[in-house]
Copies of this chain bind each other. A is one copy, B any other.
Amino acid sequence: MADVEDDRMALLRFVERFGLVLREAGMAPMPARVLAYALADDADHYTAGDLARGLGVSPAAISGAVRQLVQVGLLVREREPGTRSDLYVLDDRDLWSRFMTAELASLRRFEEAVAGGVELLGTERPGGRRLAETRDFMAFLHGELVDALARWPAERDRLAAERNGAPVPR
Contact = CB atoms under 8 A, between A and B. Distances in A.
Interface of A: 10-11, 14, 17-18, 20-21, 24-26, 39-44, 90, 92, 95-97, 100, 106, 109-110, 113-114, 116-117, 120-121, 125-128, 130-131, 133-134, 136-138, 140-141, 144-145, 148, 151-152, 155-156, 159
Given A25-B110, A131-B40, A144-B151, A18 B136 contact: no
A69 B3 CA distance: 47
Nearest to A93: B133
Contacts of A133: 92, 95-96, 156
Contacts of A41: 127
Contact of A40 (B21, B25, B130): B130
Contact of A92 (B43, B125, B130): B130
Given A137-B96, A144-B144, A148-B148, A24 B126 contact: no
26 contacts: A10-B120, A11-B121, A14-B117, A17-B113, A21-B109, A21-B110, A24-B109, A25-B26, A25-B110, A39-B127, A39-B130, A40-B127, A41-B127, A42-B126, A44-B126, A92-B130, A96-B138, A96-B141, A100-B141, A136-B156, A140-B152, A140-B155, A141-B152, A144-B151, A145-B148, A148-B148
